[in-house]
Each structure stands twice: as C-alpha cells, then as structure tokens.
Amino acid sequence: MSIQEQVIAWLARQEMEAYLVGGCVRDRLLGRPVYDLDVAVAGDGLALSRRLANHFRGAWYPLDQARSTGRAILRSREGGRLVVDVARFRGETLEADLADRDFTVNALAADVRTPSLVIDRHGGLADLEARLIRPVSEASIRHDPVRALRAIRLSAELGFALAPETERLLRRDGPALACVAGERLRDELARLLTLPHAAPYLERFDTLGLLTLLFPELEPLRGLAQPPPHHLDALTHSLETVHALETLLNQQQATPNIQHLLPFADRIQTHLAQPLSEARPRLVAFKLAALLHDTGKPAARSVDENGRLHFPGHHKEGARLTARALRRLRFNNAELHLAETVVQHHMRPLLLARQESVSARAIYRFFRETGQAGVEVLLHALADHRATYAPGARDDCGPELLALTGRMLADYWERQAERIAPPPLIDGYDLLRELGLQPGPHIGELLEAVREAQVSGEVRNRDEALALVRDLWAGRGAGRI
C-alpha cells in the first residue's frame, strides 16, 4: 500500500468528516502523479494534521491558525515524500467549501471513506473532459486576484484552454494582481516558469493585459524599436528570448543548431535544477533574467547623427531594474544575484565571439566575474541572439557564438583546474616573505596576475610565479599591474 493509500485509510478511521479536495482529486482523475494531498475537514484541521504527522512519524507545521490549517510532511519506506495539508471547511459545509474554490476542475472532492467516488457540484468533471479552465463563480477572481495568474499556470501545467468567461474575468478582475502580496505572486510565477514551455503562457498573460502588472519594468519596452538585425520591438523580443531559451533547453536531438552543446546537455539540466531556495531551482531566476534582460534600454536609448538607435550601458540599468523586480516579488538574495549577473553580463559572450580569437585569459576573466552564473550567461546569449534574427535571416555571428559557448562550457566543466580555478602556486605570505612586500591591495592584484598567467600557460610552477611577480613589481611604475 502506497503512503497515499495509507494516509487516506488512516483518515477514514478518524471520527471527523474528511474529504480529499482540489488538485489531488483532479490529478488522480487525469492519471497525473500526486505528491500532495489537500484535505478539507468539518473540524480542527490543525489538530488532525498534527495527529497525522505523529502517527506516520513525519514533520508538522501550522500553516494558518485562523483557518485551522496544518501541514504534515511524510516519508514512505521507499524514500518518497508526501505533503498533506489539512484545513477546516471554508464555510459550514463541504458544499460551501467547494463553492469558494477557484476553478471547477479544482472544486472536486472525494470522501476519504469512498475515495473513488467524486463529488462534483460545479461541472468540474465536464470541464476536465473538455480540458477547460473555468471559474467556479463570477466572483472567483475578484475574491482572490492571484487566481488570475493561477489560471495561466494551470493552463500551462495541464495543457487546458481558458474558457471564454475565464478570459473575461481575467481582464475584468485581474488588474487587482497589483495589490497581491509579492510572496504569493512569486510562488505561482515560479511554478509556471519551472515548466518547459512557459513562454507562450507569458505571452498569453500579456495579451490579457496582466504581465506588466507583475513587471511594470517591461511596459516601456512595448513598441520600443530596435536597430537591425533586430526584427521585433523590445518587449516582443524579450518574450521571444524566453521562448528561444526554452527551445534551446528542450532540444534533444543532434541538429546543427546545438551540436556544440550536446556533450553538456545532462550537466546543463543538472545545473539549472540546482535549488536556490527550498522550492525553486536556478531555472526560475534564469528565465526571469531572460524576460527582463533589456529593461534598461528605454533609459539608455540614444540616436546618432545617422539616425541609428543605440542603447549604451543598458545592461547596467537592466541589472538594477531586474534586481528591483525580483526583490519586489520576494525572491531571495541568491536568485537576485543570479538574475542580476545574467543581465549585467549578457552582452559579453557575443562581444567575445566577434573577436578574431578568444584567449584562455579572457575566458578565465569571464568566469571569474560571473562564477556559476557564467553557464546561464552563455546560454542566455545564444537565446538572445536567436531571438534577434527573423526566421531565415542571415546570421553573421551565430555559428561563432555557438562554437565559443561549447569551448567555454568545456573549460568550465572539463578543464576547471587548468582554466577556471587553478590551484594556487603562491599565496600572499610568499610575497611578504620571499619578496619583502608590505600588505595592501597590491598583494591581491599580483596574485590575480599570476593566476591569469597560469591559465594561459605562461607560468607553471612556484619559481616561475615568483619570477613573474618580481618582474611585475619592478615594472609597477609603468602600470604593469
């Protein structure tokens, strides 16, 4: 018996009236994996959830004292994890509880004593069959505006369409999203962005007039013209960059477009799955960086004497605006740092690719300044470049950028000790003892010069490193460090 079945059987033995509700009933009907159970009870959900956690020797957390809601986190013998949220009815009865839910496909219930029998008061079974997201009531989104974002997320997650009345209510009541707490918006948005094909749904959200409520930094990009080879205005280009990024990450076959990346496909996926919070992988902040990477362009816009548009320094302003947006939505510092780094450095790979040759020293400096986020910066540059050109247009730098990305990822993952983080040949104490230098910022500058020479093969041992420092120190007056 699975841990889910054990929990349902245990709940059925309790004296309290209890029902499975919401997404777990929906997903069981759709044959989707179920990792969470939502339980509505005619009584004290806090007390029941605590007894449940104690019985299965799991962890317990109070979620909402006012609504008597508690969470039990349980482990199966096989190592699986099940989250069970137990809440008192929203109202006096199950019918009142279901009437207060968001969408019909989430307003389904099943008595824990007869879990195979579905209780449907709002046409949820018909909407499951028709694959539609439909609100339970006319006031559904007005009562909780975050449901506007949830409708888009569920549409993406389930592959369901929005019913016409859903679109109408999103347009009418969705603008109240601007008043929703950042944490709630963040959680729904993160669930959308973890999906492999989120970009079309971001575009759908924008057509409903809601995307720039979450990100007002994007509104000045709407209709902002860009010089060739750009073929899209800045906002459309930003959305297309997210789409190009997802296409790049989802491609599985060896095509000429991604052959340089194929050796790193598994490592890229593992890298982007690394958690930056308890519930959110790096991928979420990365996609947000792709969406927001050009937000600095309106402030940086200039026109030269030939009438050509330029956006000098837009990456710096864009990094600031990106950090501000993520901070407003209560993403954590690690996520802010990743997104800010991607936007700050998003032009560098293309600038490197346009050089006749790229030295080991240049690659070392790139990863020194971007760290682990260098992987995302490189992938973003590929997606940004793809989104710049119209289909079939001549691309003057794409192959070089792709080849350089493959080379730099190989350095990062396969030649880390030689090219990215070489083991130190000397340290600050050596400079103080051997060369009689005094402490100061010049010590770090000299050691960094040694590391750069080390990755480029100019020094290979301690004696050569000390000799280089002596030479650099002797020539300091000529600005050699």
Residue in the block written with tokens 């030295």? 359
The stretches in the chain having pLDDT less than 50 are 252-256, 477-479
- The predicted structure's pLDDT at residue 333: 97
Output the CA–CA distances (angstroms, integers) from residue 330 to 152, 190, 423, 438, in the order listed. 21, 12, 38, 45
**Residues 6 or more apart in contact with residue 286 via CB below 8 angstroms:** 245, 272, 338, 339, 342, 376, 379, 380
Three-class secondary structure of residue 474 per DSSP: helix
- The predicted structure's pLDDT at residue 410: 95
Q: Is the CB of residue 86 less than 8 Å from the CB of residue 41? A: yes
**Residues 6 or more apart in contact with residue 117 via CB below 8 angstroms:** 110, 111
Q: What is the C-alpha separation between 162 and 133, in angstroms, rounded?
A: 5
Per-residue buried b or exposed e for 86-96, using 16+ beta carbons within 10 Å of the residue's own CB: bbbbbeeebee
Q: What is the C-alpha separation between 407 and 36, in angstroms, rounded?
A: 42
Output the CA–CA distances (angstroms, integers) from residue 125 to 7, 82, 90, 165, in the order listed. 25, 25, 21, 18
Question: What are the residue ranges of helices labelled H in 83-214?
Answer: 94-99, 124-130, 140-143, 146-158, 164-173, 182-193, 199-207, 211-214
| 385-435 confidence digits (pLDDT tens) | 999 999 888 887 888 999 999 999 999 999 999 999 999 999 999 999 988
Q: What is the C-alpha separation between 405 and 411, in angstroms, rounded?
A: 10
Q: What angle is formed at CA 33 by the lines to CA 30 and CA 36, rounded to 5 degrees?
A: 110
- The predicted structure's pLDDT at residue 257: 60
Q: What is the C-alpha separation between 436 and 12, in angstroms, rounded?
A: 79
Question: What are the residue ranges of helices labelled H in 31-131?
Answer: 45-55, 94-99, 124-130
- The predicted structure's pLDDT at residue 254: 41
| 110-145 confidence digits (pLDDT tens) | 999 999 999 999 999 999 999 999 999 999 999 999
What is the pTM (predicted TM-score) of this model?
0.92
Q: Is the CB of residue 405 less than 8 Å from the CB of residue 260? A: yes
18: β partners: 41
Per-residue buried b or exposed e for 109-118, using 16+ beta carbons within 10 Å of the residue's own CB: bbbbeebeeb
- CB atoms < 10 A from the CB of 150, how many? 22
109: β partners: 21, 119
Q: What is the C-alpha separation between 151 and 162, in angstroms, rounded?
A: 8
- The predicted structure's pLDDT at residue 1: 80
φ, ψ for residue 70, nearest 5 deg = -130, 160
DSSP 438: P
Q: What is the C-alpha separation between 223 and 229, in angstroms, rounded?
A: 16
Q: Please state at what angle helix 234-250 crosses helix 373-388, rounded to 10 degrees.
A: 120
Q: What is the C-alpha separation between 155 and 284, in angstroms, rounded?
A: 18
**Residues 6 or more apart in contact with residue 129 via CB below 8 angstroms:** none
